[in-house]
Amino acid sequence: MRRGRKGKGIIGWIIAIAILAGIGFMAFSPTFEREDPKLTLSHEGYWNFKDPIQVSVEDASGLKAFKATIATPHEEWVVVEENTPSAESKKTFTILPPKGVRRVEAQSVTLNLEATDNSLWGLFMGNTSKEEYTLVIDQRRPLLSIVSHSYKIQKGGSAIVIFKANDPHMESLKIETNYGKTFIAQPFVKEGYYASLLAWPVQEQTFSATVVARDRAGNETKSSVPLRLKDHLYRVSNIELSDKFLDGKIAELANVYEETAGVDDRLEQFKIINETVRANNEKIIHEVTSKVSNAMITDFNIKPFYPLPNGQKVADFGDHRIYSYKETKNFSQAYHMGLDLASTQMAAIFATNSGNVVFSQANGIYGNLPIVDHGFGLYTLYGHCSDVHVQEGDIAADGQEIAKSGISGYAMGDHLHFGVLVQGIEVRPEEWMDTKWIYDNITSVMESAKLYINQQ
């Protein structure tokens, strides 16, 4: 009898252990995972009842079934139904309006989603997610019209466009270009009107700009800015490097920049400074000068810039410089993205137009570099300074001395590297130093647009 009881006890322990093992297996095995499938929509809230909605379903055990229905108060359609089990942890489904139905009378529809995974949890039924989304139906495209614009734009130069855009569900307004840059417009004079400066980079062979208005439902309207394009031939300079230059200025800079650490070859040092360091420095400049205010603008009374009184031009904007050294031809190149002006040593540099100082520190080949934001996406920069009298956060007043010219950075002689940027794109400083150009291409365009807008 005792042996029988002992045997039954052992069997009981074995059963208990087996049960606990089974419970542990179900608790920790992926086969019995308890997480509901995760549903994600490509967009919510609004729908134009035309463009597809993408539904992403994620679950560690894969998907067993998925169903999507669209319903109005009076009708319901099954638009997706799949019951083929899949081991994929992520699947995407496309939701389109019911076949043959292009419009609905209801102002909104209900999108119901149901997804069940392959888990054996819940008596082998799996985990199920059910989500319901209300989508406002908006099938009207935004209203968009060009109000005024510059007559032309020159390669390397600037222009302006003013337009009207309206939609009760507006999501974004932007100006797309052929070279990938997107310009952001500011509100102008009255609600529903916008303005932006534009820029044609010197490196680009052609230019086009298109205003794009998009609402939350995905409806989109585009309007091209009808600018006349004017080419401009920029100098190509073939420069022979000297040993004196490589052993002097380049060796000096190579000891400073981390990009040239451990590099002993003189030509490689030059190439890194001329290309890699320059690119890193310009990336900082572009980021700082790409910001645009979202405040309404009513005027932009900009005067011609005259940063260095009695300064003489010593290097052009847009100069394409190609470098060689003895038998090593055309081994490096760069574009000179400013206008070099020289006067006396440590000559006073003035802010012709007031603005916010958004950058004031050393920046590689540009040396000591203050950058001033004049509003409306227009920035000026002052490179190679010896002394800088303004700090980030200061307001540079019209006529204030902000720095002195110098040889900091990649400069062989005392001068000012004067740059003008429009939303992060370098443009011809000469245009912004010309009273007539500013009036013909910017000011008069804004004045005519204001007259039109105020009559509406």
What residues does each domain of the chain span?
Answer: 32-137, 143-231, 236-427
Buried b (16+ CB within 10 A) or exposed e, 71-105: eeeeeeeebeeeeeebeeeebebebebeeeeeebe
3-state secondary structure of 455: coil
User: For 238-242, which contacts have Cβ atoms below 8 Å and span 24 or more sequence positions?
Assistant: 238/322, 238/324, 239/321, 239/322, 239/323, 239/324, 240/323, 240/324, 240/325, 241/267, 241/270, 241/323, 241/324, 241/325
**Which tokens in the block code for residue 201?**
């980079």
Fold of 143-231: Immunoglobulin-like (2.60.40)
CB 292 within 8 A of CB 184: yes
CA distances from 221 to 172, 224, 307 (A): 11, 10, 42
Domain at 236-427, CATH from 2.70.70.10, 3.90.79.10, 3.30.300.10, 2.70.98.10: 2.70.70.10
Residues linked to residue 418 through DSSP beta bridges, in sequence order? 339, 382
Query: Which CATH class for the 32-137 domain?
Result: mainly beta
- Residue 15: the pLDDT is 54
Whether the Cβ atoms of residue 161 and residue 175 lie closer than 8 Å to each other: yes
Count CB-CB contacts under 10 A for residue 31. Answer: 12
Cβ contact 112:71 at 8 Å: yes
pLDDT of residue 104: 87
Q: Average pLDDT of each block of 10 consecutive residues along the chain (456 residues)? A: 55 54 47 82 92 93 92 93 89 93 90 90 76 95 97 98 97 97 98 98 97 96 98 96 95 94 95 97 98 95 95 96 94 96 97 97 97 98 98 97 97 96 98 98 97 93
Instruction: Return the DSSP state at 385.
Output: B
pLDDT of residue 194: 98
Given this model, what pLDDT does residue 126 score? 83
User: pTM for the whole thing?
Assistant: 0.86
Which amino acid would we find at residue 412? M
Question: Do 32-137 and 236-427 share a fold?
Answer: no
Beta-carbon count within 10 A of 136 CB = 14
- 278 contact partners, CB below 8 Å, separation of at least 6: 334, 364, 365
Give SS3 for 259.
helix
Residues 6+ apart with CB under 8 A from 167: 140, 141, 142, 143, 213, 215, 219
Instruction: Name the amino acid, one letter, at 301.
Output: N
Phi/psi at 202 (5° precision): -65, -25
- Coil, helix or strand for 83? coil
Closest CA relative to residue 373, chosen from 286, 282, 281, 288: 288
Q: Which of 409, 73, 123 is nearest to 249 (CA)?
A: 409
Beta bridge partners of 153: 229
In sequence order, what E strands does 44-95 have?
46-47, 53-58, 63-71, 76-82, 90-95
Residue indicated by tokens 């205003």? 211
